[in-house]
Amino acid sequence: MEVCINRTPLMGEGFDVIVIGAGHGGCEAALASARMGEKTALLTLNLDSIGMMPCNPSIGGTGKGHLVRELDAMGGEMGLAADDTLIQMRMLNTGKGPAVHSLRAQMDKRRYHERMKRALEAEQNLTIIQSEAVDLATKEGRISGVVTAEGFCYPCRAAVLCTGVYLQSRILIGEFSRDSGPNGMLRSEGLSANLLRLGVPLRRFKTGTPPRIKGSTMDLAKMAIQLGDDPTPAFSFLHGFLQVDQAPCYLTYTNTDTHDIILNNLHRSPLYAGRIHATGTRYCPSIEDKVVKFRDKDRHQLFMEPEGLSTKEVYVQGLSTSLPADVQEQMLHTIQGLERAQIMRYGYAIEYDCLDPQCLDLRFMVKALPGLFSGGQINGSSGYEEAAAQGFYAGVNAALYVQEEAPFILGRDEGYLGVLVDDLVTKGTPEPYRMMTSRCEYRLLLRQDNADLRLTEKARRLGLISKERLEKLHRKQEKVATAREKLQKHVPADEKLAAYLTEIGETVPRDGARLFELLKRPAVTYTGLLHLYAGDLEPLDPETAEQIDVLTRYDGYLEKERREVERMHSLEDLPLPQGFDYGSLTGLRLEARQKLTALQPQNVGQASRISGVSPADVSVLLVAQKRGML
């Protein structure tokens, strides 16, 4: 389809980049593109849905908090907006190692929407338009415009799909269903069919939400209070610790009466009645699924999470359901503290179209349609954090595509975002994908505390790193380097060291030791050494102290992961031709031939991670490349 044929062109010469959808992915994509100097448009079905949280009122969590901090380190907006509008913050997994420490914040949903909308409106290169994108115009096989429901065409050089769960979406509550987006918003009607026409493969996924209740109808005395951390840590590396009057959450549980009501009404659940054919989320199951699949458990946790300071709505975390409204009322009233709770919004399931992410390359560009990028839940993922990180990545690469610059690619050893991209593009996902620390093979290197040290300099060429952020990074780097240098001092096993080590149950080294080696011992602390060697060591701020603690205590493990990264790089550095017919390469198994031809990996390392490509197949590729056959 030639650009704007039989359409009315708008906005003069159009835009460099058009982002479709203004959820968490769309906001980051539009901001990144505009801040990189590209004339950008953001199309949204409803201005009131910008940065909306249709599901849980929180940002962060295990693995997800890593993505938010990485996004912040690269100049994204989510961490800054979250810090400005959170009502509670907690560091998760503090009883475990630093690799899995993750921040999670309870948000004021309305304030977050308003804060993100202000950020978008402040960007001079960004035009925000309330309109529905229904088609994509192409010219010579490339994206050339976006067509709206009103019949207008906005010319562009690249487009970014960030449609979330709005494509042909349908809400289900028991026997009731409605063609609708989340929270009663309009859905996208025409874009799915036109994506299929353009050769973009689609699939059908499903997610859901729990009921929201009126907070003043809860009996808080029957629940356990959950307080935030004090002092309050921040997502953004610019903020340090925050001064926030935090709101509490509360913990209660389902019970056998709750489970009996659910089991007795399974035939009325759209999921179990066969009315939902989409694939649901494994790691965020409905309460129906939990009760059926874990029949040995007589209770499940429920967290009462406030939706904001200007509303009494409370989100019942852990009770996602699509059971009928009357059943939701019954089961809720069996729960301790919720016996008289009033439901303000019923839980629902939502099914929607999304694309198969294996149609994308490592830039998040559709292989068959140059100029079309995609980020967020449309790529088959779940969660605000995954969406925001993908949107940023797609928006950056769309801008670089327009600028005819090299793409911005992150490897699995460089960030959780690199793992997320590679997992989706290389491995695909048969169900809504959720980021978890267990997906990351280099998680000790990719901690949330060092996201700035890993990524800020990498993102510098994008023009998204402020002078303030860069100066703060350099100060942190200098402090860490200075502290590590001072810890190389060798100290004798004199009386003061012997007394300190004996008191904390540590053995005394006969010939003394470097301070660095002493700090590796479990009971030794930097503060303890500082007390002994005040003339040699300096007091450290919390950020530097955290880095020093990890770098010393996990020194051997970090070195082991670095060696594994080097080994993987040897495969990543071996490029593979694009458009190659692997069916002509003898020695490969049939499955490997088919998948390599279909997916066209960019290097041997990526090929090795494709499901169905065995180590023997990788050996064939290495031999073929050495012989000049690839």
Give the distance, in angstroms, between the CA of residue 306 and the centroid of all CA atoms in the same chain: 22
pLDDT at 10: 57
Rounded to an integer, what distance in angstroms lies between the CA atom of residue 348 and that of residue 365?
Answer: 32
Residue 123 pLDDT greater than 70, yes or no? yes
Q: What mean pLDDT do residues 325-354 have?
A: 97
Q: What mean pLDDT do residues 380-402 have?
A: 97
Rounded to an integer, what distance in angstroms lies between the CA atom of residue 453 and that of residue 558?
Answer: 15
- Nearest CA among 88, 93, 87 for reference residue 64: 93
Q: What mean pLDDT do residues 523-535 have?
A: 91
Rounded to an integer, what distance in angstroms lies between the CA atom of residue 375 and that of residue 203?
Answer: 15
Contact between 285 and 320 (Cβ < 8 Å): yes
The mean pLDDT of the chain is: 94
Rounded to an integer, what distance in angstroms lies between the CA atom of residue 538 and that of residue 530?
Answer: 7
Contact between 40 and 422 (Cβ < 8 Å): no
Over residues 262-310, the pLDDT tens digits come to: 999 999 999 888 888 888 888 788 999 999 999 999 999 999 999 999 9
Over residues 481-498, the pLDDT tens digits come to: 999 999 999 999 999 999
Residue 313 burial (10 A CB sphere; 0-12, 13-18, 19+): middle
Over residues 230-260, the pLDDT tens digits come to: 999 999 999 989 999 999 999 999 999 999 9
Tell whether the torsion through CA atoms of 558, 560, 561 and 567 is positive or negative: positive
pLDDT at 280: 84
Over residues 362-384, the pLDDT tens digits come to: 999 999 999 999 999 999 999 99
- Give the pLDDT band (50/70/90) at residue 316: very high
- Nearest CA among 209, 216, 210 for reference residue 341: 216
- What are the b/e assignments for 554-581, b being 16+ CB within 10 Å? beeeeeebeeebeebeebbebebeeeee
DSSP codes of every residue in 101-163: -EEEEEE-HHHHHHHHHHHHHT-TTEEEEE--EEEEEEETTEEEEEEETTSEEEEEEEEEE--
Q: What mean pLDDT do residues 125-130 have?
A: 97
Alpha-carbon separation of residue 218 from 88, 210, 280 (angstroms): 19, 16, 30
Between residues 364 and 611, the one the model is more confident about: 364
Type of residue numbered 15: F
Over residues 444-462, the pLDDT tens digits come to: 999 999 999 999 999 999 9
Over residues 28-84, the pLDDT tens digits come to: 999 999 999 999 999 999 999 999 999 999 999 999 999 999 999 999 999 999 999
Q: Count other Cβ atoms within 10 Å, centred on residue 585.
A: 19
Over residues 410-421, the pLDDT tens digits come to: 999 999 999 999
Q: What mean pLDDT do residues 602-618 have?
A: 90
pLDDT at 289: 92
Rounded to an integer, what distance in angstroms lies between the CA atom of residue 366 and that of residue 100?
Answer: 33
Side-by-side strand order, sheet with 301-306? 224-226, 249-253, 301-306, 313-317, 212-214, 343-345
- Give the pLDDT band (50/70/90) at residue 12: low
Rounded to an integer, what distance in angstroms lies between the CA atom of residue 73 and that of residue 117?
Answer: 21
Contact between 167 and 188 (Cβ < 8 Å): yes
Contact between 465 and 471 (Cβ < 8 Å): no
Rounded to an integer, what distance in angstroms lies between the CA atom of residue 391 and that of residue 29?
Answer: 5
Type of residue numbered 53: M
Domains of the chain: 8-57+112-208+352-435 (3.50.50.60), 212-351 (2.40.30.260), 467-561 (1.10.10.1800), 574-626 (1.10.150.570)
pLDDT at 35: 98
pLDDT at 479: 94
- Give the pLDDT band (50/70/90) at residue 4: low
Q: What mean pLDDT do residues 315-336 have?
A: 97
Q: What are phi and psi of 195, to 5 degrees?
A: -65, -40
Over residues 185-238, the pLDDT tens digits come to: 999 999 999 999 999 999 999 999 999 999 999 999 999 999 999 999 999 999
Helix, strand, coil share of the chain (percent; to 5): 40, 20, 40
